[in-house]
Amino acid sequence: MRDDVFDNRCYDDLFRRVFEFEQYGGRKDIFWIELDYYITRDCFVSRIGAELDVSMKSFSGNEIFRDALDRDAIAAIPYKVIDERVEPQTAFQDIYKVTEVYGYAPSETFNSYSGEVVQFPALRDTSAENKVEESVSFRYELGQIVFTDKESLFNVGDSLSFTMAMKVITTTPYQYAYGARATQLSQVVEVRIVNDARVCYCTDVSWFIYETNTTADSQTLITGYGGYRGGTATRGFTVRDQFNAQASITNFITYHTAFPGVDDRLKIFAGDNEVQEINSATTPTFAQWQTWKTDGTLVCLLEPEITQVGALYKKTVKKCRAR
């Protein structure tokens, strides 16, 4: 005769606490729960997502949580089956021992600490009070932008932004070469003394023309209109380049029942565009970053990590001090 005693779940008489959160400073005041039951192989059905019933009884007829002093507290927590381990118990593998893990996602944030390599952003002070600007006449020679530095303001290695003024081509009738701005920074690569004047040789840039909403190259805009164009060269003070460094990380860990957002990393915006340099016109600004450095503010410069713990998601946001 067939023994059908295990056609229904036969629970052990005890439950176990699982101290998932002990890793965060030894926390044992909150926990998950494990229960074991036995069932025939063909009657097993996954119970992921099933809620915990503190009145459930073991195979012997006893309430499993009868001796739990914190039974009411356990009943108030939204425990659900987040994982289950299945182990065959007989040679024929027709009886399963199933360990159910009842868990939940606490509303609090946990901390741990580590050391990791972090890429810190470039910093450039472009505020008006620290700006150096000179009216110049641009020329284009052998792939470089050249101008005379009448006030001796610029040196090799300086990063410069350029604007090009409108130029009158003819007066009868009036025709103009439109003004433009450089779409990227140029760098001074050489300074020569020519006829007692400092001449700066700078890397080439492309240009944005406001009136036509188009871009053009330097040869077209300079050589194509008489070989020179008036404009301005501006230097914002470069504080530092982007760099990598080992940093002390504070990990902010949260648990979630649904896949969490991943947009925690600090993004630097110039208008709607994400950039890699913080300056006086970006969000955050150069001044804001300097305040963060002084205050020891923690910023997220690494992508968050998300791992699955059973049916829950564990999210780790990594932050370090601004520097």
pLDDT for res 162:
93
pLDDT for res 236:
79
Average of per-residue pLDDT across 5-10? 90
Q: How confident is the model at residue 107 (pLDDT cuts 50, 70, 90)?
A: very high
Per the document, the length of the chain is 323
Average of per-residue pLDDT across 314-322? 98
pLDDT for res 118:
97
- Model confidence pLDDT, tens digit, residues 171-212: 778 788 889 999 888 999 999 999 889 999 999 999 999 888
Average of per-residue pLDDT across 115-123? 95
Average of per-residue pLDDT across 3-32? 92
Q: Which two tokens stand for residue 178?
A: 């439109």
Other Cβ atoms within 10 Å of 109 Cβ, number: 13
Question: Taking a C-beta distance cutoff of 8 angstroms, is the pair 34, 102 a contact?
Answer: yes
Q: How confident is the model at residue 168 (pLDDT cuts 50, 70, 90)?
A: confident
- Model confidence pLDDT, tens digit, residues 28-72: 999 999 999 999 999 999 999 999 999 999 999 999 999 999 999
Q: How confident is the model at residue 3 (pLDDT cuts 50, 70, 90)?
A: low
pLDDT for res 222:
93
3-state SS of 129-185 is HHCEEEEEEEEEECCEEEEECCCCCCCCCCEEEEEECCEEEEECCEEEECCEEECCC
Q: How confident is the model at residue 2 (pLDDT cuts 50, 70, 90)?
A: very low
Distance of CA 26 to the CA centre of its chain: 29
pLDDT for res 256:
97
Contacts 24+ apart (CB under 8 A), 292-301: 292/322, 293/321, 293/322, 293/323, 296/321, 296/322, 297/321, 297/322, 298/250, 298/322, 299/266, 300/264, 300/265, 300/266, 301/118, 301/119, 301/120, 301/121, 301/265, 301/266
- Model confidence pLDDT, tens digit, residues 145-165: 999 999 999 999 888 999 999
Share of the chain above pLDDT 90, in %: 76
- Model confidence pLDDT, tens digit, residues 253-310: 999 999 999 999 999 998 888 888 998 889 999 999 999 999 999 999 999 999 999 9
